[in-house]
Amino acid sequence: MTYFMVFEHGILAFIVLIDGNIISRIPLRLKHGLSYQAYNFTYLTWTVLFALSTASKSPIYDVLDWNNDPSGAATVASIVLLVICPLIFVFCWWFSLPRRRLYQERKDFMSTSNDDTGYHDSNGTTS
């Protein structure tokens, strides 16, 4: 395990998690899991196409060596798609729940604290 590998996968994932949930406050919903799984499936499909192309001399990842060990690569791909990626997504979703609750409380507060006279635009008029 090299520094580059740890940085590329671990530290970068931590930075994205902090940026998305604390700094940018991007809400994560369970329905986003479908696009996440679609991306993972597309990437694994790309690794197969890359391995089958004539341009590839070595696999992108050693554990996904579709040319020399297709059954091992299929096993790893299945575990990643069906176990690891859903667990990562559920962890990220769970991590975003406190921010979502805070956002909902703020939204509820703003809707109850509005003036009963109507909506005020930037000119101060009521509609």
Whether residue 75 is contained in a domain is answered as yes
DSSP 123: T
Q: Give the amino acid at 28.
A: L
The whole-angstrom separation of Cα 58 and Cα 72 is 16
Q: Are 64 and 77 in contact (CB under 8 A)?
A: yes
How confident is the model over 106-125, as pLDDT tens digits?
A: 677 777 765 555 555 555 55
Whether residue 120 is contained in a domain is answered as no
Q: Give the amino acid at 88.
A: I
| Tally of structural domains, the chain | 1
Whether residue 66 is contained in a domain is answered as yes
pLDDT at 14: 83
Whether residue 125 is contained in a domain is answered as no
User: Containing domain of residue 65, as a range?
Assistant: 26-100
The whole-angstrom separation of Cα 78 and Cα 106 is 41
pLDDT at 16: 79
Whether residue 68 is contained in a domain is answered as yes
Whether residue 85 is contained in a domain is answered as yes
Q: Are 110 and 32 in contact (CB under 8 A)?
A: no
How confident is the model over 56-67, as pLDDT tens digits?
A: 678 888 888 898
Residue with tokens 């060990």: 69
How confident is the model over 31-54, as pLDDT tens digits?
A: 888 999 999 999 999 999 888 886
Whether residue 116 is contained in a domain is answered as no
The whole-angstrom separation of Cα 68 and Cα 28 is 39
Whether residue 84 is contained in a domain is answered as yes
